[in-house]
Amino acid sequence: MCGNSTEISEVLNKRDSQHLIRMFLNQMQINKDDFKFERGNFGKPYLLESVIFFNLSYSDNYIAVVFSRQEVGIDIEEISNCKFKIMDRFFTSNEQSYIKNSNNLNMTNQRFYEIWTRKEAFIKRDGRGLNIPLRSFDVLINENVPYFNTIFYNNHIISICVDKKEEYEIHNLQLDKLDMFECCINN
């Protein structure tokens, strides 16, 4: 949200997103040309009549895509100096303390985006998006919070949210200037 994703957002539209998902499914040797895309009540896309769930996110020149056998959310953000005054509006007091108790500015920025990407992945997994107030849940407390995995890559943070911990693989594909991450969660 705080990063600049102009380049990809100008290129990536609904049809391109569906093509990208199909391309990854084919790479995973799930060859079904008749996948039908639908949208949930709050707009989250899903594959009709499938046990495969997916989600995607983009930031700058990166696209992150995740597949799972359960509801899943993903977010990618560039680590930068964001305006920390938004923490009061979107983060719990526990999350704010975690960020403010960092040893240095780099760690503060990393922790900020760790919390931010986890919150985004959480609301995307749920499917209601920003209909869930970001301050209404704490991504650091393990009670009633799904499993999160956060990956740091090339000054970016990728967070994945699922209900139960699963094994997965991450693949990095480069297409010209565009890096794509495919996170395949296997059961």
Residue 114 counted as domain residue = yes
Mean pLDDT along residues 158-186: 69
Q: Which residue has the tokens 């107030």?
A: 133
Which pTM value belongs to this model?
0.82
Residue 171 counted as domain residue = yes
The domain in which residue 79 lies consists of: 6-186
Residue 106 pLDDT level (bands cut at 50, 70, 90): very high
What is residue 153's predicted lDDT score, i.e. its pLDDT? 86
Q: How far apart are CA 125 and CA 27, in angstroms?
A: 23
> For residue 49, what are the CA distances in angstroms to 32, 36, 41, 173, 177?
12, 8, 16, 28, 35
Structure tokens at 94: 């526990």
CA-closest candidate to residue 73, choices 140, 27, 118: 118
What is residue 11's predicted lDDT score, i.e. its pLDDT? 45
Number of domains in the chain: 1
What is residue 24's predicted lDDT score, i.e. its pLDDT? 75
Top-confidence residue, 19 or 56: 56
Q: How far apart are CA 148 and CA 168, in angstroms?
A: 13
Q: How far apart are CA 95 and CA 98, in angstroms?
A: 5
Mean pLDDT along residues 177-185: 57
Residue 146 pLDDT level (bands cut at 50, 70, 90): confident
Least confident of 96-100, 105-109, 125-129, 176-180: 176-180
Round to the nearest angstrom and report the end-to-end CA distance of the chain.
31
Residue 43 pLDDT level (bands cut at 50, 70, 90): confident
What is residue 167's predicted lDDT score, i.e. its pLDDT? 74
Helix (H) or strand (E) run with residue 106 in it: helix 105-126
Residue 128 counted as domain residue = yes
Residue 12 counted as domain residue = yes
Residue ranges of E strands in 36-166: 37-39, 45-47, 53-59, 62-68, 72-78, 147-153, 156-162
- Burial class from Cβ neighbours inside 10 Å (0-12, 13-18, 19+) for residue 85 reads exposed
φ, ψ for residue 34 (rounded to 5)? -95, 25
Q: What is the CATH number of the domain that holds 16?
A: 3.90.470.20
Residue 1 counted as domain residue = no
